[in-house]
Amino acid sequence: MSIVPHQEETIRETIEDAGFVATLIKDEASEGSTQICRMGIKGMTCTSCSNTMESVLRGINGVRKAQVALATEEAEIHYDPSLVNYKRLLQAVEDTGLEAILVSTGEDTSKVQLKVDGSRTDMHDVVQQSLQALPGVQSIEIDKVLEKISISYNPDMTGPRNFIEVIGSANGSFAKLYPDEGGRESRRLEEIKRYNRSFLWSLVFTIPVFLSSMVFMYVPTIRRGLDAKVVNMLTIGELFRWVLSTPVQFIIGRRFYTGSYKALRHGSANMDVLIALGTNAAYFYSAYSVVRAATSHSFKGSDFFETSSMLISFILLGKYLEILAKGKTSEAIAKLIDLAPETAILLSYNDEGIVVGEQEIDSRLIQKNDILKVIPGAKVACDGFVVWGQSHVNESMITGEPRPVAKRKGDMVIGGTLNENGVLHIKAARIGSESALSQIVRLVESAQMAKAPVQKLADRISKFFVPLVIILSFSTWLAWFLAGKFNGYPKSWIPSSMDSFELALQFGISVMVIACPCTLGLATPTAVMVGTGVGASQGVLIKGGQALESAHKVDCIVFDKTGTLTVGKPVVVYSRLLKHMVLGEFYELAAGAEVNSEHPLAKAIVEYAKKFKDEDNYVWPEAREFVAIAGHGVKAIVRNKEIIVGNKSLMLNHNVAVPLEAEELLAEAEEMAQTGILVSICGRLTGVITISDPLKPNARDVISILQSMNIKSIMVTGDNKGTANSIAKEVGIGTIIAEAKPEQKAEKLKELQAEGYTVAMVGDGINDSPALVAADIGMAIGAGTDIAIEAADIVLMRSNLEDIITAIDLSRKTFSHIRLNYLWALGYNVLGIPIAAGALFPFTGFRLPPWVAGAAMAASSVSVVCCSLLLKYYKRPKKLDNNDIRGITIECKSKSFKLVATITIVPCSI
């Protein structure tokens, strides 16, 4: 319960008045609460821009973490809302000269925006008061100009349909959802249109400039007209090129000037600086040449107006193609968002619970506990539970599992999945940002924001890349100029259309514009974006570049047993009472103690105990003083009797004698890879329960494939050594760690890491969380607990062990593309700059004109993005396609009969 600050002292005094000593303890958790703000940032051109932006955001008091992604042009900021708000963060970005667009904040997870048509200004206060009277409404903001009402609320208590109804009744106006302003995709399309428009306008001016300087000079009649004098030595052609290139330089190329100014103002240099310097050098020298020609009777010079205008045109074309390609790297998120249906069918019930009507509504108007109808061929609108009907639902778009999953009353369905052949009535449970689809989208977005450690290489290079290029460019010009001035090379090297100064200037400009910091900045994030998106489509959620990079180094995997190597749905197969007692009463006491445990073995006991009860929703006796002993079992007081349920070591620790008969039963269970559970009542061992949890069908094949990939497999479990050995032998694992507590699992991982292994941990339960965090890579089974999934770096949505191999193989493929990107980016600059500087000119006569150098620079960025896009065609290893689903044998024994049943189990989906 939260306490208002001024009440703290009053509460303390009240406690002391009662005769106790009270000390106020500050709640660090509440003080340290963190919210996440996501925003789009327009205007970043290279790694230097994104690094500068990160530094600015991290320097704000209250910001705990800031990540800026060049590839997505977005920022994710973790901040303390008590020290700073999202408006201050947006302002900080705007102050740098870039444009900030709010995407989401931690404050609007349950927020709706409504547009009110026909509302009178004097009724706004009435509307606000009516809305505030609704339970669950937390805050209201009214924009009178836009006729927009923003409402933050508790989704467990109210929802948008209630707000629309209240607004309508308050002033008779009509309220509806505010039109969606669009997200990343709409911003990308807008930017594509802007660059396309700029490029086309630049062509209108650049093509005539290019023709007049490069083509028409070879057409005698046109050349004579262009060479005609206007004033002194100034020709029509020079004046014509000057007039046409000026709008390209200063109007269409204005973005490069503003980008340069903003970067230099914050003490950094980016690609815009290189472009502005290169084009300015060409333009202003040409302008100088024109002015000299107009004022002199004998000056003969050349202009490079085509260089500046063609440079800008090619760079705009490159940016246009780059944005088109980058958009394809984030298609995975767009596809996930598109899974959510736009509408849903809402059912209305009368007092007797009979359906009396149905209505099609916008899916954003769904509220918790709504009953929705899902017809065959329609998508499920939100996460919920089936309350009526049965069908098969295709969940492949969420989990990657191709087989339709049977659904009946009580089963959970996931929003965005496809209902195939039956009608379902579902009760809405998780809506909006709480839905599984929204959480997956957020996870993939965060993964694409997170930088891989290898990205640090590009960040370090970017700090000195642009200044170094400027120095090299100036040095190139100076070297060639001095060499020409002092006859360092033959006069025959100089083209007839220029002098030694102009030749040196061309070399200097080429160096300036061929250097491309963008390729380094895009090498890693574009590959990570595509890799994480492909992983999501295959049912493998990879939480960022760090996880992706670590996964490709994995050479040792530690498996939890229950729920990971095994199906995770254990069943009771045998019971033996060692004392005279009714079996139903025995299970009632055992279930009363185990019902509070999350362990799969506990759930198996509770489920089996239900067979002795006639009621479906039987309430088990209250368990007092419940204690869960991790890795051993549980202890509780049930009906005034001390109940201990667990393994042999737990009994011995509580001085409960284990007779020989029980020892034999445990040994027999271990031989059959089953788990023996001992039950003590009032300090005396009363019974033995044998539980079987069959292996997952493909466990042995997965371990075999991992061995062929030179990856060591280890099994760790809290189960006894006998059962662990039997399971390990069956799947082909040579190293086991049995009877391990959660902290011992984490310690073992640290020992393996100390030996030089890069360790992955695969688990599904709360008790696996410490190990998942301790491992270099934590992989959580998608059907596991929320805590395990939160602690993991990779989530296997299909709960299929084969996806471990997919995750590792995908990470290896992704990093091979990252290496290829870096090889191209570094190789391009290392080879391109010397060639642009004229390294080949003395030997071959080959030189790179500035406009060709600019085209090469634009093409290099596009090529890096396209290389990353090849990951979209990733296919999982062929070895996995050859695996057959095998039958699983469970041996069930009782006093009177023995039954051996073969059951075919397919990998379960969440």
Task: Show which residues are catalytic.
Answer: 560
Residues 6+ apart with CB under 8 A from 707: 713, 732
Number of CB atoms found within 10 A of residue 784's CB? 25
Burial 633-644 (b: 16+ CB within 10 A, else e): bbbbebeeebbb
Residue pair 665/676 in contact by the 8 Å Cβ criterion: yes
Residue pair 605/645 in contact by the 8 Å Cβ criterion: yes
**Angular region, 108: left φ>0, alpha ψ -120 to 50, beta rest:** alpha
What is the C-alpha separation between 570 and 591, in angstroms, rounded?
A: 15
What is the C-alpha separation between 619 and 592, in angstroms, rounded?
A: 9
Residue pair 645/676 in contact by the 8 Å Cβ criterion: no
Residue pair 12/22 in contact by the 8 Å Cβ criterion: yes
Query: Which residue in the block uniquely carries the two structure tokens 């929802």?
Result: 159
User: Measured between alpha carbons, how far is residue 789 from residues 612, 748, 773, 786 in Å?
Assistant: 35, 21, 11, 5
What distance lies between CA 64 and its chain's CA centroid? 19
What is the C-alpha separation between 442 and 106, in angstroms, rounded?
A: 12
What is the C-alpha separation between 395 and 397, in angstroms, rounded?
A: 6
Residues 6+ apart with CB under 8 A from 300: 233, 293
Q: At what angle do helices 660-671 and 721-731 cross, to 10 degrees?
A: 10
The token pair at 756 is: 């030089």
Strand order in the sheet with 684-692: 571-577, 684-692, 675-681, 641-646, 633-638, 623-629
User: Measured between alpha carbons, how far is residue 488 from residues 475, 494, 834 in Å?
Assistant: 16, 12, 19
What letter would DSSP give residue 251? I
Backbone angles phi, psi at 569, to 5 degrees: -125, 70
Q: How many residues does the chain have?
A: 910
Residue 350: exposed, middle, or buried by beta-carbon count in 10 A (0-12, 13-18, 19+)? exposed
What is the C-alpha separation between 188 and 103, in angstroms, rounded?
A: 14
Query: Which residue in the block uniquely carries the two structure tokens 């100390």?
Result: 754
Question: Do β-strands 759-763 and 556-560 pair in parallel, antiparallel, or remain unpaired?
Answer: parallel
Number of CB atoms found within 10 A of residue 655's CB? 8
The answer to whether the Cα torsion of 870, 876, 877, 882 is positive or negative is: negative
Residue pair 696/595 in contact by the 8 Å Cβ criterion: no
Residue pair 146/423 in contact by the 8 Å Cβ criterion: no
Pure H helices in 366-516: 396-399, 436-449, 455-485, 500-514
For the chain, first and last CA: distance in Å?
33
What distance lies between CA 219 and its chain's CA centroid? 58
Element (H, E) at 6: none
* Nearest CA-CA partner of 271 in 525, 527, 519: 519
Residue pair 675/669 in contact by the 8 Å Cβ criterion: yes
* Nearest CA-CA partner of 155 in 344, 372, 343, 365: 365
Residue type, 393: V
Q: Largest alpha-carbon pair distance within the chain? A: 125
